[in-house]
Amino acid sequence: MFELNEVPWEILDDYVAARPTSVLGRVLVRSHCFTSMAADRGHLSPWTTWPTLHRGVNDEQHMIASFGQDRRQADQQFPPIWSLLRAAGASVGVCGTLHSYPASEELSRYAFYLPDPFASEPVAHPPELVEFQRFNLAMSRESARNVDTRIAKKDALRVVRQSRRLGIRPRTYTAIGKQLLAERRRPAMSNRRRTYQSVLLFDIFARQLQRSRPQFSTFFTNHVASAMHRYWAAHRPQDYERLGLGQDWLATFRDEVVWATGQAADMVEWLADYVDGSPGSQLWIASSMGQRATMAEALETQLYLTQPAHFLEAMGLPGEQAWQRRPAMLPHFNLVVDDKYVEPFCDALRTVRVGGQPLHFKRSDNGFFSLEFGQANLHDRPDVVTIADQARPITSLGLETVEIEDRSGTTAYHVPEGILAIYDPVRPPAGNGSRPEISVLEVAPAALLTLGVEPPPYMARPSMLAEALAI
């Protein structure tokens, strides 16, 4: 299952139109293609829509909304597909899939297991993957709205020394070298560094797949989604009534979405070759939702919580003994609050206004909170934050208006329509090339049935996929 986060059909169609002889185009023509529809009732977010796809129930049942959230109840009631298959005796490999940390069972029971880049510690199986995960986590912690050009050098050197064992291909290092040279000529190209983290991870996944050949495996990548959020307006300017980003910006970033999609297409090409050489195998290309154009306006700054202790103290938390940080993707900030402070902390958060608007936050079981910062273009408003109707300087609260290097806001955002393409070289589609809508709730039970495992009774019967795949 190639988890191509948030990618809709428009982006794949654009790539195939620009590269009509690409392997991706040939694979899609020979695939059973569907438009998957997100089934969640709340805010569409990958932290929620992927658990829905993996567990076969929507957000109202699994209640997963953020990284670092206590998932023990959800894992017990609605286990993810990899846990169900493992329990049924199937061999399983997991690579980068969201909410794969912490694992609900011993990692050594899996063919391979490399958790998502928001894990709290560098654990992985087999053991040689631990050093890469250490590097992966360090790079993910540094990455924010701007690309950080710092490198975790010690961790990177350990990865380089183990390159052959890990499966990192020489062509990947060559591409990284060309990227670093290109940045000297065009600094704006540094945004592509985000993608190379996925390219490295795919090399490692491919080696593990070849070594262990599990019956079911997952690989997750966010690199195309990242490019779409930032540069959809440069790629598809015709989707907007008003373009507020300027011709220079459009010219600088017009190729980024196609380039990022090309890296995913290279991964699909490798996987299609693998499936062609593995009788009985299938490749499922999936997204749990999609994106579509929003607004094309310049983003100069975003508000980040850079010194959390200051803000949390203002919210009544006396020190780090009262709270613990949890992984999150900036500009969000996740934490767990000690029981005796939960209610006062929640009350204090309700009094916070940023730019006159309430600070959005989510609260979950066991003292978990997710705070949503990232407010745009507040750099010229020093009194923008109030607590209990009193203005507070943002620096005193550990907040900072961070300059956005590429000036791109969220030019595309989440929509329910995603993709599902199932490539089976011995069972090509017999239809007319249409992409009928299906619920993402069909994906997990269909995958279980494909592997001969009866889905739990709470999962929907995958009627449309069952007909297409004869399961």
With tokens 């969640």, the residue in question is: 40
Query: 392 with 423, same domain?
Result: no
Q: Computed from CA positions of residues 102, 103, 106, 110, in that sequence, does the dihedral angle turn out positive or negative? A: negative
Query: 54 with 103, same domain?
Result: yes
Domain count, the chain: 2
The rounded distance, in Å, linking the Cα atoms of 390 and 462 is 55
Say whether the peptide bond before residue 308 is cis (omega within 30 degrees of 0). Answer: no
DSSP 72: H
Query: 372 with 461, same domain?
Result: no
E strand or H helix at 178: helix 170-185
Q: What is the pLDDT of residue 471?
A: 83
- Residue segments in the chain with a per-residue pLDDT below the cut of 50: 143, 145-146
Report DSSP letters for 135-151, one per residue: HHHHHHHH-SSSPP---
Query: 222 with 321, same domain?
Result: no
Q: What are phi and psi of 368, to 5 degrees?
A: -85, 135
Please count the other Cβ atoms lying within 10 Å of the Cβ belonging to residue 271: 23
Q: What is the pLDDT of residue 99?
A: 95
Query: 148 with 285, same domain?
Result: yes
Domain that holds residue 394: 301-403
Output the domain CATH number for residue 25: 3.40.720.10
The rounded distance, in Å, linking the Cα atoms of 461 and 141 is 40
SS3 content of the chain, % helix, strand, coil (to 5): 45, 20, 35
The rounded distance, in Å, linking the Cα atoms of 268 and 272 is 6
Query: 10 with 103, same domain?
Result: yes
The rounded distance, in Å, linking the Cα atoms of 187 and 56 is 43
Query: 419 with 397, same domain?
Result: no
Compute the radius of gyration of the chain from its Cα atoms: 22
Query: 220 with 272, same domain?
Result: yes
Query: 65 with 148, same domain?
Result: yes
Q: What is the pLDDT of residue 435?
A: 95
Q: What is the pLDDT of residue 466?
A: 86
Q: What is the pLDDT of residue 150?
A: 56
| 3-class state of residue 71 by DSSP | coil
| pTM, two decimal places | 0.88
With tokens 């407010």, the residue in question is: 375
Query: 38 with 115, same domain?
Result: yes
Q: What is the pLDDT of residue 142?
A: 54
Contact in structure between 444 and 39 (CB atoms under 8 Å): no
Q: Which of the listed residues 403, 426, 461 is the one where a domain comes to its end? A: 403
Q: What is the pLDDT of residue 381?
A: 76
Q: What are phi and psi of 377, to 5 degrees?
A: 55, 50
Q: 347-355: long-range contacts (C-beta < 8 A, 24 or more apart)?
A: 348/314, 348/315, 348/316, 348/387, 349/315, 351/387, 351/388, 351/389, 352/315, 352/385, 352/386, 352/387, 353/385, 353/386, 354/303, 354/378, 354/384, 354/385, 355/381, 355/384
Q: Which residues make Cβ contacts (< 8 Å) with residue 12, sequence separation at least 6? A: 24, 28, 261, 419
Q: Which residues make Cβ contacts (< 8 Å) with residue 20, sequence separation at least 6? A: none
**Which residues share a beta bridge with 399?**
305
Orientation angle between helical segments 193-212 and 129-142, nearest 10 degrees? 160
Q: Which of the listed residues 386, 403, 420 is the one where a domain comes to its end? A: 403
* Residue environment code for 59-73, b if the CB has 16+ CB neighbours within 10 A, otherwise e: beebbbbbbbbebee
What strand order describes the sheet that includes 385-387?
Answer: 357-358, 352-354, 385-387, 390-392
Q: Which amino acid is at 19?
A: R
Q: Roughly how many angstroms between the first and final C-alpha of the chain, as a whole number? A: 17
Query: 286 with 310, same domain?
Result: no
Query: 262 with 353, same domain?
Result: no
